[in-house]
Amino acid sequence: MNLFMRVIVATLVSVFALSSCGEEKFSKYQCPMKCEQEKTYDKPGTCPVCGMKLKGIK
Ligand SMILES: [Zn+2]
């Protein structure tokens, strides 16, 4: 029983690691400095004001 549980846990951990390692899907992107207040973008990129990489928002 213990071995079975270990296999389950190991499988879950590896699936979680793979999914977190892959490119995350965000619906919106926003400047981390909020140069444009709450303005969000549909695609990843850089802020036109400060040039920082936009932060994904779930
Ligand atoms: Zn900015």
HEC assignment per residue over the chain:
CHHHHHHHHHHHHHHHHHHHHCCCCCCEEECCCCCCCCCCECCCCECCCCCCECEEEC
How far is the centre of ligand 1, averaged over its atoms, from the C-alpha of 8 (Å)? 44
User: How confident is the prediction for the chain on average, in pLDDT?
Assistant: 88
Kindly give the distance from the C-alpha atom of residue 23 to the centroid of ligand 1, in angstroms, as a whole number.
22
pLDDT digits (tens, 9 = 90+) for 5-32: 999 888 888 877 766 655 668 999 999 9
CA–centroid distance, 41 to ligand 1, in Å, is 12
Q: Ligand 1 centre and the CA of 20: distance in Å?
A: 26
Q: Is the pLDDT of residue 51 over 80?
A: yes
Ligand 1 center to 49 CA (angstroms): 5
Q: Where are the domains of the chain?
A: 25-58
Q: What is the pTM of this model?
A: 0.56
Note the pLDDT of residue 15. 78
